[in-house]
Chains A and B, each alone.
Chain A
Amino acid sequence: DGGITQSPKYLFRKEGQNVTLSCEQNLNHDAMYWYRQDPGQGLRLIYYSQIVNDFQKGDIAEGYSVSREKKESFPLTVTSAQKNPTAFYLCASSSGFSGRARNEQFFGPGTRLTVL
């Protein structure tokens, strides 16, 4: 089965703790993305990576960190510096870059993070 997986589905964190959200894809895609979704706000880009060992900040990167050591994996760490981390987090991947190929994004099922 080809696809993109995220784990865990639900995650609870105490204030002051760092947590890492997993994202894995077996689609052989170069690009991977992390979005945050809050009710009524649509998707906001946190970080994205176009190639292994490289990533760029999105619109709301503060309080988050990522790594891209392998093509198939793009974990997101929500640090204690993120003041309001309770949200639905979506990971996505795509094969092409804008203008060169279809940049349709494939999404994982999401992780719902709740800070207690």
Chain B
Amino acid sequence: SQQGEEDPQALSIQEGENATMNCSYKTSINNLQWYRQNSGRGLVHLILIRSNEREKHSGRLRVTLDTSKKSSSLLITASRAADTASYFCATDAPDRGSTLGRLYFGRGTQLTVWP
């Protein structure tokens, strides 16, 4: 079963609006990461937040992490048409012994930003 699950599955907004995507996970983590995937391409790492951090910023991206609720959110401010892509959260699983190093990806949120 997948560790992370994104919500919503699809999000459609106008340029200039903010986009918020959520991720829930099941077990303890060392860190949580967000990735972006343009259609038919590989994933690109956006931002990593450690379990002892609550909020992190990178440009127009803001990520929050609530370990008590096992959830994270990704906020893209002032969205652009070029932000149209799928966004995935990924978690590690430090308590899973031999699976050290692997990430668990959710199914992703498909974001469409209309010009």
Residues of chain A having any CB pair with chain B under 8 Å: 4, 31, 33, 35, 40-43, 45, 48, 50, 56, 58, 88, 90, 92, 94, 96-99, 102-110, 112
Known: A103-B103, A105-B45. 14 other contacts (CB 8 A): A4-B42, A35-B105, A43-B88, A88-B40, A94-B101, A98-B31, A98-B94, A98-B101, A99-B30, A99-B94, A105-B43, A105-B90, A106-B45, A107-B43
Chain B: residues with Cβ within 8 Å of the partner, total of 27
User: Which residues of chain A are within 8 angstroms of B2 by Cβ–Cβ distance?
Assistant: 42
Roughly how many angstroms separate A41 CA and B43 CA in the complex, as a whole number?
Answer: 15
Q: State which residues 25-71 of B face A: CB under 8 Å.
A: 30-31, 33, 35, 40-45, 48
A110 touches B101 (CB 8 A): no
Contact pick for A98, options B92, B107, B108, CB 8 Å: B92
Chain B, interface SS category: loop
Whole-angstrom distance between the alpha carbons of A50 and B99 in the complex?
10
B101 touches A48 (CB 8 A): yes
6 tightest Cβ-Cβ pairs between the two chains A and B: A107-B42, A42-B107, A98-B92, A43-B105, A97-B101, A107-B43
Q: Which residues of B contact A (CB under 8 A)?
A: 2, 30-31, 33, 35, 40-45, 48, 88, 90, 92-94, 98-103, 105-108
Give the number of residue pairs across the A-B interface with Cβ within 8 Å.
Answer: 69
Nearest residue in B to A88 (C-beta to C-beta)? B40
A109-B41, A110-B40 are contacts. A104–B33 as well, Cβ < 8 Å?
yes
B105 cross-chain contacts in A, Cβ below 8 A:
35, 42-43
CB distance from A47 to the nearest CB of B (A): 10
Cα distance A55–B89 in the bound complex, in angstroms: 24
Q: A42-B2, A90-B42, A90-B43 are in contact. Are A48 and B108 (CB under 8 A)?
A: no
Contact check, A42 vs B102: say whether CB atoms are below 8 A apart: no
Closest A-chain residue to B47, C-beta based?
Answer: A104
Q: Is the beta-carbon distance between A42 and B88 smaller than 8 angstroms? A: yes
* A contact residues around B108 at 8 Å (CB): 42
